[in-house]
Amino acid sequence: MKLKNNDAKGIACILVAALGFALMTFFVRLSGDVPTMEKAFFRNAFAAVIACFTLLRSEDKFKIKKGCFGFIFLRCLFGTTGLLCNFYAIDHLPLADANMLNKLSPFFAIIASIPILKEKPTKIDIITTVVAFMGVILIARPTGGVSMIPALCGIWGGAGAGIAYTFVRLLGRKGERTSIIVLCFSIFSCMLSSPFMIINFKPMEWWQLGCLIIAGVFAAVAQFSITSAYKFAPARKIGVFDNTQVVFSAALGIIFLSEVPELLSVAGYIIIIGMAVFRWYWNLKREQPEATAAT
């Protein structure tokens, strides 16, 4: 038994993306009290540079496929607003609350796939995603005293990301290149955040700049990986694996920040990993009869 090739590639890419985003968050946190818009700018600047070099070496250079421009714009719009709202939530909410709200993205991706991609999730898709989300709640343990505006921003951070990933999947169906999608998103985000960054610019120490440069590099790796992931496979098959970012973040916290997780957090890790393994196994079992019938 084995997964379809594209499904396996999608899962591998989203795991790499989860690790990249965890490392990005780790170094953003290490950068200290840098303003939100500066963090957002560096989050995308390096991805734009890498995408530019990649496209310059390609045959079609910066050419966008016919019929894709509108969907690229929607990917950029939802992705950028989601990113900025997520950074705002991180700066104005307890970190656990912000992380929990951001982990809504796979759930929103499955919902958005229904009208945008005409994909109908199975009962197993819905159940495992909801249970995995419950695991995230156990890890985050949100407080009851969350003010409305930052909380709504955090929710939109997850929703914007999930909808953006759905448009990435649609663009993948249309044959658009990963580098074009990453470049457009990165430039759009930098253009949107740069005026605010200039107005409220705060000089950084050399070590803060170093942390943000490293964060930008890992963000670029993660952005390329997650864009490829949702081109290879639909959100209902791979979205739940995005929650492994929480596990990677916890490991970084234990090793480098001496943050020992509580028992509820450990329970959340077990639930998330358990759902990932269960979905993997379910897809294997479901596709085995199809492969046998085809033979």
pLDDT: which is higher, 86 or 262:
86
Q: Once rounded to an integer, what is the mean pLDDT over residues 5-33? A: 85
Residue numbers of the domain that contains 200: 5-294
pLDDT reading at 235 higher than 80: no
* Range from 90-94, 202-206, 261-265 carrying the lowest mean pLDDT: 90-94
Residue 1 banded pLDDT, cuts 50, 70, 90: very low
pLDDT tens per residue, range 117-173: 888 887 887 888 788 778 777 766 666 655 567 878 888 988 898 899 899 889 988
CB 176 within 8 A of CB 62: no
Q: Is the pTM of this model over 0.95?
A: no
pLDDT tens per residue, range 54-83: 888 888 888 898 889 999 999 999 999 998
Domain total in the chain: 1
| Percentage helix, strand, coil for the chain under 3-state DSSP, each rounded to 5 | 80, 0, 20
pLDDT: which is higher, 17 or 242:
17
pLDDT of residue 81: 92
Closest to 46 measured CA to CA, from 181, 190, 216: 216
* Residue 36 half-sphere exposure toward CB, CA atoms < 13 A: 13
